[in-house]
Amino acid sequence: MTLYADTSALLERYVDEVDSGFAVEFLGSDPALVTGRHAVVEVRRNLARLLSGTALTESRKAFATDLDAFSIVELDAATCELAAAIAEQTGVRTLDALHLGAARRLGTAVTFLTFDLRQRQAAQALGFRVVGG
Whether the CB-CB separation of 114 and 96 falls below 8 Å is answered with: no
Work out the pLDDT band at 28, boundaries 50, 70, 90.
confident
Tally of structural domains, the chain: 1
The angle formed by the CA atoms of residues 132, 116 and 80, to the nearest 5 degrees, is 110
- Cα–Cα dist 77/74, whole Å: 9
- Whole-prediction pTM value? 0.93
Residue type, position 94, single letter: T
Taking only the tens place, the pLDDT of each residue in 50-80 is 999 999 999 999 999 999 989 999 999 999 9
Share of the chain above pLDDT 70, in %: 100
User: What is the signed CA dihedral for 95, 66, 58, 27, rounded to 10 degrees?
Assistant: 80
How far is residue 80 from each of residues 1, 52, 62, 83, measured CA to CA in Å?
24, 33, 28, 5
- Structural domain span for residue 111: 2-131
- CATH number of the domain bearing residue 84: 3.40.50.1010
H or E stretch including 113?
strand 110-113
